[in-house]
Structure formats: C-alpha cells, structure tokens
Structure 1
Amino acid sequence: MILSPFEWTIAKRYLLPGKGEAFIALVASISIGVVMLSVAMLVVVMSVMNGFRAELLDKIVGLNGHAIVQAYGGRMDDWENILQEVRQTPGVVRASPLIEQPLLTSFNGRVEAILVRGNTPQDIRNLSSKVVSGNIDELAPGARKVAIGIRLAENIGARVGDTITVINPQGRSTPFGTLPRQVGYEVAAIFEVGVYDYDGAFVVMPMPDAQTLLLLGDTVQMIEVTVNDADKVGEILAPVQRSLQGRAVVSDWKTINATLFEALQVERAAMAFALSFMVLVAAFNILSSLVMLVRAKTRDIAIMRTMGATRQSLMKIFVTTGFTIGAIGTLAGLAFGFLILAGRKQIVEVIGALTGQNLWDPQYRFLTTIPSKIDGMEVGMIVLLALLLSFLATLYPAWKAASTDPVQVLRYE
C-alpha cells in the first residue's frame, strides 16, 4: 500500500495528536504498550521453553546418549559382537559399553543413594569440560579413584582427596549369609553436569573397577548409542531392535524421558495459546484508539472529503495510523523481550532477593540455570501474528472514517 504525500502527511499528524487530544494520545500509548508487552512475553516464554527442552536434551544425551541397548537380566555376555553390530548400523555416530547400577555410598556417617557408572576411558575424558575441581585423568583401572557430582559432594560433605565407601548389597555369600560389599574409593574429581538429579547421584569410575565392584566379570550391562539425528533415533536403530529381539531391548531418549518431554510439549503449546490472547487484547486496544480518533476527527474527515479526498485515501490514512501503532509496539516488544532474555538470571536473582524466595530451585527445575534458545521461525511467527492482528484491527475504524457523509457532518457547522 503506497501512500501519497498528502495521505502520509495526515497519517503522521494523527500519529502525533495535538495538545487538546491528550486522551487520544494516552489511549494510543497504552495500545503500543500492550502490544509491546504481549510480544515481549511471547518471545520470552517461547524462548525459555525452547531453551529448557534443548538444554535438558543436551544434558541428558551428553551422559546417556540418544539410546540405550540393554540386555535382559542386566548382563550382556556377548557385548563385543553387539557393540560391533551397533557401530556398523547406518546413522550411528558413536557406541560404547556402559555399566550403570544404583547403590549406596557413605562418608563421615552420611549415607546417600547413588548411581554408579562404569565408563570407557573415552567417555570419562568427555567429562573433562564439566570438572569443577580435581583431575579426572587420574581415573584409571585399579587406582580406586572416582569422580562424583557436585550436589552429591555437597550432600555428603566430600572433597577431592577424600575416600568414600561404595556399598553393594549383592556381596559374597558366607556361612553367616550374604555380606554387603563395601569398597573405598578416593574422590579424584568433582563435576557439574547441570542437571540436578545427575549431579546429586552420579559416581563415575573406570569400567574394570565397576565390573569388579558389581561382580560382573567381563560382561557389561548396556551399550550407549549416539546417532546423527536425535529426532530419528527410532528409525535409525530399528534394524538393531529387530536383530536383538529376545536378547536385548533398545530404549531411546524419547521413551526413557517420555513423561518429561511430553509435559514440556503440552506446557509449551498451552503457554503459546494463552499468551496469544494478549496480542488479541492489544489489537482491540488499537481498534478502540482508532475509533476514538475517528470520532474526534469527524469534522476534519468531512472537510477533507469536500476538498476532494477519496474514500480510498481515508482508508489508507487510518489503516496506516493503526498499523504503525502495532508495528512500533511489535518492534519495541522484540527489543524488550531480547533484553529480558539477556538479563534473565539477574532478574530472577533480584526478584528472589526482594521476595526472599528461591525462584529457580534446581531440585525442582532439573537444570541449575534458566536456559534460553531463540527460534527465528517462532519469533517471525510472533511478529506476523502481532502485525496481522494490528492490521485487522484498523479495518473497521478506517471503513467507518471512509463512510463519513460530509453533508451530514457539516450541515450544522
């Protein structure tokens, strides 16, 4: 829609009401503010929800891979052949043996439930970037050294260099019954993955040490698999599932964490639907401000009509005025939303300090920090939604202005 110099001049004049039109200016300002807040909230909420899903998936996959091949009975005797078969499957990027067993640990009289993980040297080295203290390279078969999560270290009061006791209830049989197996391990490193449950339970050790602790011999419990496309993990590993039917089961990240990710998806959709009504409310504000402007400018509209202004020109003027209000609010909302996302951690800390509440407790939020991931496609959809509703809100007032009969207005002037 191209405006003539006359139409653009009038539109600019109506965008900046005069001194006697303070109320109209106030309503227009409120309209811009509502559009700004609605767009900003949509951008912030959708970005945080996307970030939460992406960060959670990254943390989970970083430790567990995209899928787990687990033998029935918890012992995979021919794991070398299965590992070779999985590695040769098209789409598989990495596959490695894994031992994972829930046990207990004690230190200085404190007992905590833990998850012992026996990893290969390569998998242990992958944790190097997560280490907050100590040296994970000290973990070697037979050295009786482990790496533990930072929350677990805080819970039992252990530090690097301390010796913790790992308790395996399935010990050796004696004439007096089965005695739990208790083995001391020196804490060589403390790591922080960023997922509260993992940081509060994981004890990582070399695979031979885990096999000795759990009396597994030369067997493993499962194979960890990473593929080139996380969303197609089921299709990629379908041949493996068919080949190992009756011997092992393949569980991907969608199955293992189905409840969590489905809840996130439902919450994300519900929040987007609910917050979209804020944009609709903003559009009604634009409509009301334009209706008031048309009523205030009825005499001016009649004069312009008698001077030769066409109905189409008046439509353009008022559509441009309302759409510009929506566009300004949308751009301001984007800027405000990005500003909130950039300072989200500081904002939560300030609100927490003022209210005395912990607004982001990792124990209930899974992640230790508030994530954020801006999706360009979603931001574009939010902008289009705001602009489309702003445009639609201008049509009735613009039509009303164009339908003004100058004879009826000027009859008693």
Structure 2
Amino acid sequence: MLLSPFEWTIAKRYLLPGKSEAFIALVAGISVGVVMLSVAMLVIVMSVMNGFRAELLDKIVGLNGHAIVQAYGGRMDDWEDILEQVRSTPGVVEASPLIEQPLLTSFNGRVEAILVRGNTAEDIADMAPKVVSGDISALRPGSNNVAIGVRLAQNIGARVGDTITIINPQGRSTPFGTVPRQVGYTVAAIFEVGIYEYDQAFVMMPMADAQTLLLIGDTVGMIEVTVDDPDRVGEILAPVAQAVAGRAVVSDWKTINSTLFEALQVERVAMAFALSFMVLVAAFNILSSLVMLVRAKTRDIAIMRTMGATRRSLLKIFVTTGFTVGAIGTVAGLILGTIVLYFRQPIVEFIGLVTGQDLWDPEVRFLSTLPAQADPIEIALIVLLALGLSFLATLYPALKASGTDPVQVLRYE
C-alpha cells in the first residue's frame, strides 16, 4: 500500500501529535510499549521452551543415544550379532554396547545410590569435554579407575584421587550366605553432564571392569543407538525391533522420556496460547488510540475532504499511522527479547540475589543453567501475529475517518 507524498506527510504528522494532544501521544506510547512487551515475552518464553527441549535432548542423547536395545532379563548374550545388525541398519549413525546397573557406593561413612555405567573406550573418550577435574583417559580396563558425576562427588565429599567403595548386593555365595561384593575404585575424573539426576548418580567405568564387578561374564545389558534423524528414530529402528522380538525390546528417547517431553510440549503450547492474548491486548490499545485520534482530528479530516482528499487517502493515512505504531512496538520487542535472552543467566542470578530465592534449582529444573534456542520460524510467526493484529486494529478507526461527512462537521464552523 504505497502512500503519496501528501498521505505520508499527514501520517507522519499524526504519528507525532502536538503539545495540545499530549494525552493521545501518551496512549500511543502505551500502545507501543504493550506491543513491545508482548512480542518480547513471546520471543523469550518460546525460545526458553525450545532451549529446554533441545538441551534436554542433547544431554540425554549424549549419554543414552537416541534409542536403546535392551535385553529381557538385563543380559544380552548374543550382543555382538545384534550390534552388527544395528550398525548395518540404514539411518543408524552409531551403536555401542552398554552396561547400566543401579548399585550403592560408600565413602567416609556416606552411602549413596548410584547408577554404574560400563562404557566402551570410545564412549568414555567422548565424555572428555564434560570433565571438570581429573583425567578421564585414566579409565582403562583393569585400572580400577572410575569417573563420577559432580553432584555425587559433592554429596559424598569425594575428590579426584579418593577411593570409593561400590557395593554389589549380588555377591558371591558362601557357607554363611550371600556376601555383598565390595570393590574399591579410585576417582580419576569428575564430570558434569548438566542434568541434575545424571550428575547425582552416574559412575562411569570401562566395560570390562563393569562386567567383573557385576559378575556377568562377556555379556552386556543393552546397546545404545544414535540415528541421523531423532524424530524418525522409531521408523529407522523398526527392522531392528522386528529382528530382536522375543529377545530384546527397542525403546527410543520419546518413549524413555515421554512424560518429561510431553509435559514440556503441553506447557509450551499453553504458554504460547496465553501470551498471544497480550498481543491482542496491544492491538486493542492501538485501536483505542486511533479512535481518540480520529475524534480529535474530525475537523481536520473534514477540511481535507473539502480540499479534495479521497476516502481512500484518509483510509491509507490512518491505517499507516496505526500500523506504524504496531511495527515500532514489534521491532522494539524483538530487540528487547534478544537482549533479555543474551543476559538471561545474569538476570536470573540477580533476581535470585534480590529476592533471596533460588530461582533455578537444578534439582527441580533438571538443567544446571537456563537454556534458550530461538526458532526463526516461530519468531517470524510472532512478528506476523503482532503485525496482523495491529493492521486489523486500524481498520475500524480508519473506516470511520474515511466515512466522515464534511458537510455535517463544518455546518456550524
């Protein structure tokens, strides 16, 4: 909708009301502010929710892959054949054997429930970026070295170089009954995955050491699988599920963490729906400011009509005026949202410091820091929503202005 020089001049004049129209300017400023805040809130909330999903998926997949092939009874005797079959499946990027068993650990009189993980040398090497102290390369078969999560280290007071005791209740049988198996391991490294539950429980060791500790011989508990498209993991591993039916079960990340991700998706949709009403409120503010502007400029409109201004010109002038208010608020909202997202962690820490409350407790939030990931498509939809509602809000006042009868207005002038 192109404007003529006359139309653009009048529109600019109405965007900057004079001193006698301060109240109209105030209402227009409030409209800009409300649009800005509503757009910023939508951008911030949707980016944080996307960040939650992406960060959780990344951290969970980093330890468990996109899916696991788990044997019935917890022992997979023919795991080499199944591993080869999984690796040859189209769409599978990586597959490796894994042992995972809940046990107990003790150190200095403190006892904690743990999850012992026996990994291959390649999987252990992949954990190197997550190590906060120590050397994870020291985890070699027969070395009796382990790596533990940072929260577990804090809970039991262990540091690199300390010796912790891992207790396996399924010990050896003796004439006096079953004696729990207790083995001492040196803490060679401490890692931080970023998910509280993992950092609190995981103890990583070479697979051979895990097999010795659990007395399971040359068997594994499961095979973890990584695919090229996480959203198609069920479809990609369907042939594997059919091949191992009766011996093992294939569980993907959607199934294993279904409660968490479904709750996250529901909350994401609900928040987007609720915050969209803020944009609607902003549109009503634009409508009210334009209605006031039209009423204040009724005499000017009548004069312009007598001077030859068409109804179409007046319609374009007031639509442009209101739409510009919405556009300015939208751009300002995008800038504000970007700034808040960039400084999100310091903002959370500052609010917590002022209020004295721990706003980001890892025990509750699963993640150690507040994540965020902006989705260009969602941001584009937010912008279209704000601009679309702003445009619709201008139609009624603009139509009223264009329908002004100059004879009725100027009759008594």
Task: Give the structure-1-normalised TM-score.
Answer: 1.00
Report the secondary structure of 2:169's partner residue: strand
2:248 aligned partner: 248
Within 5 Å, which residues of 2 pair with 1:196-207? 196-207=196-207
Q: Distance in 2 between matches of 1:116 and 1:101?
A: 5
1:315 aligned partner: 315
2:96 aligned partner: 96
Deviations, residues 99-124 of structure 1 (Å, cap 9, x unaligned):
00000000000010000000000000
Report the secondary structure of 1:246's partner residue: coil
1:330 aligned partner: 330
Q: CA deviation at 1:73?
A: 0.7
Within 5 Å, which residues of 2 pair with 1:280-299? 280-299=280-299
Q: CA deviation at 1:333?
A: 0.2
1:348 aligned partner: 348
Q: Distance in 2 between matches of 1:351 and 1:172?
A: 55
User: Are 1:7 and 2:17 matched, yes or no?
Assistant: no
Deviations, residues 255-290 of structure 1 (Å, cap 9, x unaligned):
000000000000000000000000000000000000
Q: CA deviation at 1:317?
A: 0.3
2:170 aligned partner: 170
1:303 aligned partner: 303
Letter in 1 for 2:299: R
Q: Distance in 2 between matches of 1:96 and 1:403?
A: 74
Unmatched 5+ residue regions in structure 1? Answer: none
Q: Distance in 2 between matches of 1:208 and 1:232?
A: 33
Q: Distance in 1 between matches of 2:384 and 2:162?
A: 58
Q: Distance in 2 between matches of 1:344 and 1:326?
A: 26
Identity across aligned pairs (percent)? 81
2:130 aligned partner: 130
Letter in 2 for 1:36: M
Within 5 Å, which residues of 2 pair with 1:63-102? 63-102=63-102
Report the secondary structure of 1:309's partner residue: coil
Report the secondary structure of 1:289's partner residue: helix
2:369 aligned partner: 369
Task: Give the structure-2-normalised TM-score.
Answer: 1.00
Q: CA deviation at 1:4?
A: 0.5
Deviations, residues 176-214 of structure 1 (Å, cap 9, x unaligned):
111111100000000001111100000000000000000
Letter in 2 for 1:285: N
Q: Distance in 1 between matches of 2:220 and 2:5?
A: 79
2:272 aligned partner: 272
Report the secondary structure of 2:104's partner residue: strand
Letter in 2 for 1:350: F
Q: CA deviation at 1:412?
A: 1.0
Letter in 1 for 2:214: L
User: Are 1:186 and 2:177 matched, yes or no?
Assistant: no
Report the secondary structure of 2:140's partner residue: coil
Q: Distance in 2 between matches of 1:345 and 1:94?
A: 34
Q: Distance in 2 between matches of 1:213 and 1:280?
A: 62
Q: Distance in 2 between matches of 1:224 and 1:33?
A: 51
Report the secondary structure of 1:263's partner residue: helix
Letter in 2 for 1:217: G
Q: Distance in 1 between matches of 2:207 and 2:230?
A: 26
Deviations, residues 31-60 of structure 1 (Å, cap 9, x unaligned):
000000000000000000000000000000
Report the secondary structure of 1:359's partner residue: coil
Q: Distance in 2 between matches of 1:201 and 1:212?
A: 20
Report the secondary structure of 2:114's partner residue: strand
Q: Distance in 1 between matches of 2:70 and 2:316?
A: 67
Report the secondary structure of 1:200's partner residue: helix
Letter in 1 for 2:286: I
Q: Distance in 1 between matches of 2:93 and 2:12?
A: 60
1:379 aligned partner: 379
Q: CA deviation at 1:175?
A: 1.2
Q: Distance in 1 between matches of 2:75 and 2:40?
A: 53
Letter in 1 for 2:110: R
Q: Distance in 1 between matches of 2:315 and 2:219?
A: 79
Figure out how many residues of one structure are paired with residues of the other and give that number: 413
Unmatched 5+ residue regions in structure 2? Answer: none
